[in-house]
Amino acid sequence: MKIMITGSSGRLGRELKNVFPSAIAPTHEKLDITSYKDVYDFINTFRPDKVIHAAALTSIRECEENKEKAWNINVEGTKNLVKVSKLISPKIKFVYISTACVFSGEEGMYAESDLPNPKNYYAVTKLIGELVIRELENWLIIRTNFVPKEPWPYPGAFIDRFGTYLFADDVAIAIKEVVEKD
């Protein structure tokens, strides 16, 4: 089984590389998902059986301040991966890493069947990405939030925010279990 991981230089991507050590895991320097040609050449060369698409611009602030960049990475990049996957390997298993932020966060715990209600541009782009991957035959959406196991970089910052965050390494292990079941 050949697995391709996008976003391998990100927090979750690094953990995914640890649990899938033989995966093809290009950094954004080696694979620009916003370039159809780059995506085509990469997938055509490696021909993965499964794609775990973890690449994204995840900074909510940066997404709000640079909507074009957020759209290009989170939506157009996903479109490129989907178009090429459909063309080269229509039965490819495509795992899309979305976000729990597609929900407003105002209702408490959410179920898979709840209607999304994104409150920021990052969440909007991820929700659109969810719609894009549904063009494929074999897809899975994982809506999650995670944090790395490293010291909090803003020790003096306190905010009134509650969540059910998971550690990135635990999310990667769960993704592996799901991917290997198929």
Q: Does domain 3-181 fall into CATH 3.40.50.720? A: yes
Which of the given ranges, 59-63, 67-71, 86-90, has the highest pLDDT on average? 67-71
Q: Is the pLDDT confidence value at 149 over 80?
A: no
Predicted pLDDT of residue 106: 72
In angstroms, the Cα distances linking 151 to 144, 147, 154, 167, 172 are: 20, 10, 9, 12, 19
Average confidence score pLDDT of the chain:
90
Residue 77 CA: distances (Å) to CA of 33, 67, 132: 5, 14, 10
Residue 153 has pLDDT above 70, yes or no: no
Rounded to whole angstroms, the Cα distance separating 172 from 14 reads 9
Q: Give tens-digit pLDDT for 31-48.
A: 999 999 999 999 999 999
* The total number of residues written for the chain in this structure: 182
